[in-house]
Amino acid sequence: MIVTDEQPAPPAEPDDRPARAGRPVELIIVSAGWVVAVLAAVLSGLLELFLTPLRLAGVPIGLSILMALVANPAIAWFAVSTTGRRGAMSAPWIMWTVLMLLATGYRRPEGDYLVLGNDWVALVTVLVGSLAFAVFAYRMILKRPPPI
């Protein structure tokens, strides 16, 4: 009989995780998640820009602010959950922000701006929309990563 100080290896636990899909299928799903999230951010931004001048009896109703507050975290959640990567929300966030910044500084051929500097609804929409992405990112930072 041989006596050693080594401990026997614990028995291997069965893998309870479902079998992973093949690598090509996973790559297609992740790529599609990125593309759909970026397109959703662009479409959301355009719709918010079109809803900015919406008024009811001459009073701005701010529907674009509410849409930015709800849609942007939903787009970020979709990007993260479909790709499985926390950094995936950065692409829609950047596209949405660039679209809004271009809209605030773009002058049409007629001389009009898409978003005026005195249009408080549009300015609050830009602020709230970007903050909605930022709050989602901050909450993800505070949350522990899922166990592997």
Task: Determine what percent of the chain is predicted with pLDDT higher than 70.
Answer: 82
Domain ranges of the chain: 23-142
Beta-carbon neighbour count of residue 54 at 10 Å?
12
Q: What pTM, to 2 d.p., does this model score?
A: 0.76
Neighbours of 25 (CB within 10 A): 10
The span from the CA of 144 to the CA of 148, in Å, is: 12
Per-residue pLDDT tens over the stretch 100-143: 988 887 777 787 777 777 888 999 999 999 999 999 999 988 88
Distance CA 72, CA 93 (A): 8
